[in-house]
Structure 1
């Protein structure tokens, strides 16, 4: 236990952000590191619960509660409080290959399951993600994170298709087992959605490539600008490798079957974010090879993290106005004990970094709640100029969502740029069809959790490609677990966790 009375003596303090009006002028990390002493106080708040729920990932009503990689959270909270940072780093790496990714970009279901947050999750739960990020950043700063290549090679070769968090985790674990691993990435940079789906000010590419450099020094080969099934044939893949793990993600965006959705100026959110990252890293946006929000009335459709990232990117482009549609009604500040009891992930009103920035930029919160788009209207050149909406009420009948339009709430919004951030419907099907692996009704690759084997001998799958759109921490969970089963397939037994 951190400190017997720590949770009573110290208030929750998460890693703070820079002044929103200042940080929207650049693409640097929007947060400010905390002092060691401040982080140690947060570690001291850990209660040493009789049955801690923060580190045991599960799904309750389809929503994650606790940590899916079973992070040893109470242990490294204790070690941080005691000032044993290197030992805390070692504990963190036992269950999570990439605590820097989850410490920055995970929505922290661990904090939602924290016992301290039973009543007020947003202000009382231990700042677990802040402690996690502080540990790994100190580890890199002190030179404690070093390559640890395997001492013995097995002679087996494994291909990992996709370099997102699932692919990187699978590759890291297989390499530890002594196999020779090659990771194929169709984009020109490694990282998948870590690189292209999360803006630079939230998760810097330097953070990704810093870890990739360690993996390369440990013996993993990364092949970019290479699409398996196109640049490398399926026959070549099977001939050159003893096993393959498919970690291509669920990259096909959901469409909006709404009148006018084919107008110019309407884009999937990920196209907007991907192009911005590429141009920013290539030329600091000087090449103009991105979708600009400058001087435009921007509508972001979708209330999740991707939509929030679109807000933060748009204000840095100097948009004219910015609105985010959320189809749900505005939530309360406290969880509903009847419909959303602890330890479920708290469904409460949150103000994320992009909301703060948009409000600082235009003087008001950008969100419009309970809004459903009814149609898009274009100008004489076929470019979107308006978004028509109506307010809706959401209720549930036998577990299914039913939305009812509210008469008299019709509204017309000016729009030059519309970004659709309503999620992903599944993985790209080209390689799947070439490999002749079976899929589910939702088009994901068919494989049982815990086994990760497809119907094709020697081919495994993990992450969003198997489970559908999900969290970074679930991708790491599945990447690690699929590596374990692949190792068992190759060697007849496994020592991987």
Structure 2
């Protein structure tokens, strides 16, 4: 695969990023795909490693390692190296319904498990993936695939995020009639409203939605299941129902002063920003606008970073991002061995922008918010924090201890809580009568069946908050399970041992 000595002769090259101080003036994507020449050089670095760990797709030490959609990475890298772009696209599309999404927003656990990464920078898998699919669209190789025959079976999918879209795509190609219900005004779920435009431009999402519609999938928007249409209606009108409703309930921070105005959840903040960007005629919600404000994001993950980038573009006076965990090491720790996902320090796109804008890294580590302080008119004016000391026992359990005399007051007029999600919306589950376990829909991976006949579940609602590649994996696998349920057997691909 690739050039036999490519990884020894060629260095890793990253995608070209626009200048941080320039790109924060707009909402366009911050990076560009590889040129053909660069893509071939990077494909050449993919060594003939015998056992390619890049697509093992499994959890190691609590983090995903390798590609959960089991992309045929060495194969399409080799084809790219040889200039066989269309063949590379065909191999890529065998396992991944939406490379244009994963090639932009996936954290690339494949690269952490790349064999080259044992001692050198990994093969630039993510950027090659994006370049292949972008070239496919540019050259007109991506065209509607209209199923030749229809089975007469009907399926309703609740939720149009990556899991729902992947399931819809697979089942439509199997010849079933698929209808996707989405409560928002645009399809795509978190792809549309939860990920900001500078990471994933919305015309990229809409392009795929339009293609799926051309292929025969029906999208019903502005329709909330459980309110505008009942669970009983869906079960009566369709041969099967798949719940891909995501893990939508945000984790709250119930501390003193939480009721003050100016404290919002990350998804509300990001959704409002994107809706205003897409619908210029709509009046923006000033309480969710960072312009001229001291902004504090509580939560050190990717969603928090997206909030940093959004606040900067809105014209925030200052931005800080709080993380409860300590700063990660520059290199892998001895307990974080390959092929586990590398838990190392990095500057994400948002942090590069913040550093250029404000002159320093805006992340604060080992810090915990203890209380919000009011301005006297029920609005937030500041918050109070303490520093933490983190310890880990021999079993890997982490504990936090507050350090005395470390209290600090931070001025803020906009606080964004980005500390994850606790589970799917319970009211929908109650209507369907499906059981839950640990705030997730109780449906075994591989079977995806709930306790209600004909009702299946996949994605974050079943798995818990996870990566886009796991959502696509579950969407593909639940499609196989539903196809088998309806037809007695399935020709759809599956990676689960039957």
* TM-score range for the pair, normalised by the shorter chain length: over 0.9
The aligned counterpart of 1:186 is 183
The aligned counterpart of 1:411 is 408
Instruction: Report how far residue 128 of structure 1 moved.
Output: 0.3
SS across alignment from 1:267: strand
SS across alignment from 2:135: helix
1:146-165 → structure 2 map (5 Å cutoff): 146-165=143-162
1:295-334 → structure 2 map (5 Å cutoff): 295-334=292-331
Check the 8 A contact 1:151/1:178 in 2, yes or no.
yes
CA distance in 2 between partners of 1:394 and 1:49 (Å): 38
2:83 equivalent to 1:87: no
SS across alignment from 2:492: coil
1:195-214 → structure 2 map (5 Å cutoff): 195-214=192-211
Q: CA-atom RMSD, angstroms? A: 1.0
Q: Summarize deviations over 1:380-414 as a string: whole Å, max 9, x none.
A: 10111111111112222344321011222221111
The aligned counterpart of 1:288 is 284
1:43-82 → structure 2 map (5 Å cutoff): 43-82=43-82
CA distance in 2 between partners of 1:126 and 1:480 (Å): 26
Which shows bigger deviation, 402-411 or 180-189?
Answer: 402-411
CA distance in 1 between partners of 2:41 and 2:240 (Å): 47
CA distance in 2 between partners of 1:349 and 1:359 (Å): 15
Q: Summarize deviations over 1:295-327 as a string: whole Å, max 9, x none.
A: 000001111110000000000011000101111
2:398 equivalent to 1:383: no
Gaps of 5+ in 1: none
SS across alignment from 2:436: coil
1:79-158 → structure 2 map (5 Å cutoff): 79-119=79-119, 124-158=121-155
Number of residue pairs matched? 491
Match of 2:398 among 397, 401, 404: 401
CA distance in 2 between partners of 1:395 and 1:165 (Å): 37
CA distance in 2 between partners of 1:119 and 1:374 (Å): 42
CA distance in 2 between partners of 1:363 and 1:209 (Å): 36
Instruction: Report how far residue 5 of structure 1 moved.
Output: 1.3
Which shows bigger deviation, 74-83 or 12-21?
Answer: 12-21
| Superposition TM-score, scaled by structure 2 size | 0.97
The aligned counterpart of 2:269 is 272
2:430 equivalent to 1:433: yes
Check the 8 A contact 2:230/2:431 in 1, yes or no.
no
Check the 8 A contact 2:255/2:372 in 1, yes or no.
yes
For residues 119 and 413 of structure 1, do their structure 2 counterparts lie closer, same or farther at Cα, with a shift above 3 Å needed? Answer: farther
Check the 8 A contact 1:272/1:419 in 2, yes or no.
yes
The aligned counterpart of 2:167 is 170
SS across alignment from 1:95: coil
Match of 1:246 among 243, 247, 254: 243
Q: Summarize deviations over 1:411-466 as a string: whole Å, max 9, x none.
A: 111111110110001000111001100001x2211000010000000000000010
The aligned counterpart of 1:37 is 37
Match of 2:338 among 319, 338, 342: 342
Check the 8 A contact 1:119/1:334 in 2, yes or no.
no
User: Which portions of structure 1, spanning 4 or more consecutive aligned residues, are displaced by more than 3 angstroms?
Assistant: none
CA distance in 2 between partners of 1:110 and 1:344 (Å): 10
Instruction: Report how far residue 287 of structure 1 moved.
Output: 2.3
CA distance in 2 between partners of 1:495 and 1:447 (Å): 22
Instruction: Report how far residue 200 of structure 1 moved.
Output: 0.7
